[in-house]
């Protein structure tokens, strides 16, 4: 099983890692550019994936999502969908859905949201608090665990499928800005 462990010193590092994650998810590779130079990539096609974001309140799940969105060229506000539960982001060639299942009382509530349509294999789904939807959401391709440690955070990425393994491999390739 492939894993990747790192320490992110601050919010800026978390956003930078999110941008790297966006590069690893993109089908259209941009080989000689750093993630920080990839703004305006809203036309990039993504390999769809289900990514569980696991961590306590304030661990950096939404900040990481903000970094992923910046990596795809999205400059608007990226807020936690605690009350809306799902925030959709549609790009020229891809769709990204940010879920926050914290407020669900039962996993079955996911079905009432009509969320099945979001889980297409072509879409990227970033799911906060996935344990609250287990049994009603698809299994993860990649689990990203975030743990606060002082002002920074420890990150542990664990592949759960071939897609997840591919994402980790791309993150660890030579030239990655980690």
How far apart are alpha carbons 85 and 104 in whole angstroms? 9
Contact 19, 35 (CB under 8 A): yes
- Closest residue by Cα to residue 53 from 45, 41, 61: 61
Of 144 and 93, more confident: 144
User: pLDDT of 46-58, one tens digit each?
Assistant: 788 999 999 999 8
User: pLDDT of 138-148, one tens digit each?
Assistant: 999 999 999 99
How far apart are alpha carbons 11 and 18 in whole angstroms? 11
| Domains in the chain: ranges and CATH | 3-172 (3.40.50.300)
User: pLDDT of 31-41, one tens digit each?
Assistant: 445 444 444 45
pLDDT at 30 over 80: no
Angle between helix axes 162-172 and 11-25 (nearest 10 degrees) is 120
Of 28 and 143, more confident: 143
């Amino acid at each position: 099983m492939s894993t990747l462990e790192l320490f992110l010193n601050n919010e800026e590092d978390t956003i930078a890692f999110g941008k790297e994650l966006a590069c690893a998810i993109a089908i259209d590779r941009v080989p000689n550019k750093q993630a920080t130079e990839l703004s305006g990539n809203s036309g990039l096609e993504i390999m769809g994936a289900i990514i569980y974001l696991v961590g306590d309140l304030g661990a950096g799940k939404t900040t990481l999502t903000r970094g992923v969105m910046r990596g795809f060229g999205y400059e608007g506000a990226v807020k936690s969908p605690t009350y809306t539960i799902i925030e959709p982001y549609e790009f020229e060639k891809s769709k990204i859905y940010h879920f926050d299942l914290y407020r669900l009382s039962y996993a079955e509530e996911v079905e009432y949201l009509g969320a099945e349509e979001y889980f297409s294999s072509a879409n990227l789904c970033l799911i906060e608090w996935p344990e609250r939807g287990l049994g009603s959401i698809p299994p993860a391709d990649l689990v990203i665990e975030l743990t606060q440690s002082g002002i920074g955070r420890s990150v542990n990425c664990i592949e759960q499928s071939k897609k997840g393994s591919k994402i980790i491999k791309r993150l660890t390739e030579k030239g990655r800005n980690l």
